[in-house]
Structure 1
Amino acid sequence: MARDRDRFSTATRLKALGGQATARVYRARTPRRGRLTGRAALLALVLCSLVVALAYPTRQFVSQRSDIADQRRQAEEAREDVKRLREEKARLQDPAYIERLAREHLHYVRPGETGYSVPGGGGPGDRVDSRGAADQPWYRNLWDGVDAADRQTSR
């Protein structure tokens, strides 16, 4: 009997079954677009939900990685500053270095030596200030600052 079914075509079998059966068979063979669209919408909704759910944590992760890199850079700079300051502290323990700084910046001289200040001389310790004149000894700069302040208040 199974052999007899295989011998007849689908169209012949449908004619034998009648009109209602034919309609059911053809309806079953055509793909239902409603189910496919619903599945696609559900899949799109799930994907959008995943993207939205993962967007904020991903942004936070990237931001935190950037902050970590900045903190590491700042820590390295602080280590370099500490190293530089330790070296400066070690140099300041040397009396010869202190004497050299006093001679350059404060124009100190040893007993028996004669100190000279040459205006506009441009010696090795002299610097040019913003007005273009050579630096004076520290005490002269102090008094010039006092005089300038006094002139501004008396106007």
Structure 2
Amino acid sequence: MSRDERDDPRGEDSPGAGARRASPALTSRAAILAVVMCAIALSLAYPVREYIAQRKEISDLQRKQAAARKKVDELAQRKRQLGDKSYIEREATRRLHYCRPDVTCYIVLDGGGDDGRTARKGGPANRPPWYETLWRSVEAADRPR
């Protein structure tokens, strides 16, 4: 046996040749597989992100559509109400104090001439109009301190 054969770790005659032949941590096949897996992951990352964004947008639009349907239903019900003559008459009587010609209407007054804006006995004093309050605050702001 020559010296080259004894120093050669791949020699078949050497007794520990099988033990030295342990596979390295990263073979060329494993490196290629890792590169392919990374390429697949990177090529799928953008479409998956877009898919998730589109699903979120779809759910948002479905939620908005449900709210719009609810609003349309409410408006349709309101339209039916406004088309009902008895509802219109009730609202005119309640809100606008209209009175039909064949009905006797009464207006109850409480004795005060200004729609109850005066102070009751033992209650707080009558407030001045808003413009007087405003003018007093302007005058107070102009006074030196």
TM bucket (normalised to shorter chain) is: 0.5 to 0.7
The question of 1:31 aligning with 2:22 is answered yes
When you count helix as a share of all residues, which structure comes out higher? 1
Mapped pair 1:109 → 2:105: no
Distance (Å, rounded) in 2 between the aligned partners of 1:79 and 1:91 = 18
Superposition deviation, residue 103 in structure 1: 2.0
What is the aligned counterpart of 2:84 among 94, 101, 113? 94
For residues 23 and 70 of structure 2, the distance between their equivalents in structure 1, rounded to whole angstroms, comes to 71
Relative distance call for 1:117 and 1:79 in structure 2 (3 A) is: farther
**Cα-to-partner distance string for 1:43-73 (whole Å, 9 max, x where unaligned):** 2222222222211111111111111111112
Cα distance in structure 2, aligned partners of 1:115 and 1:95: 24
Q: Is the 8 A contact 1:92 1:98 kept in 2?
A: yes
Q: Secondary structure at the match of 1:73?
A: helix
Q: Normalising by structure 2, report the TM-score.
A: 0.56
Provide structure 2 residue ranges, at least 5 long, that are not aligned to the other structure: 117-129, 139-145
What's 1:51 paired with? 41
Gaps of 5+ in 1: 1-17, 121-146
Specify the code of the residue in structure 2 equivalent to 1:114.
Answer: Y
For 2:44 and 2:82, the matched residues in 1 are separated by 57
AA matched with 1:94: D
Higher relative contact order (CA 8 A, sep 6+): 1
The partner residue of 1:67 within 57, 62, 67 is 57
Aligned residue identity for 1:87: Q
CA distance in 1, matches of 2:68, 2:62: 10
Q: Deviations over 1:76-135 (max 9, x none)?
A: 222222222111111111111011112222232334413347756xxxxxxxxxxxxxxx
- For residues 107 and 56 of structure 1, what CA distance do their matches in structure 2 show? 66
Q: TM-score, normalised by structure 1?
A: 0.53
Matched pairs, number: 109
Query: What's the RMSD between the two structures over aligned residues?
Result: 3.5
Change (3 A) 1:115 1:28: farther
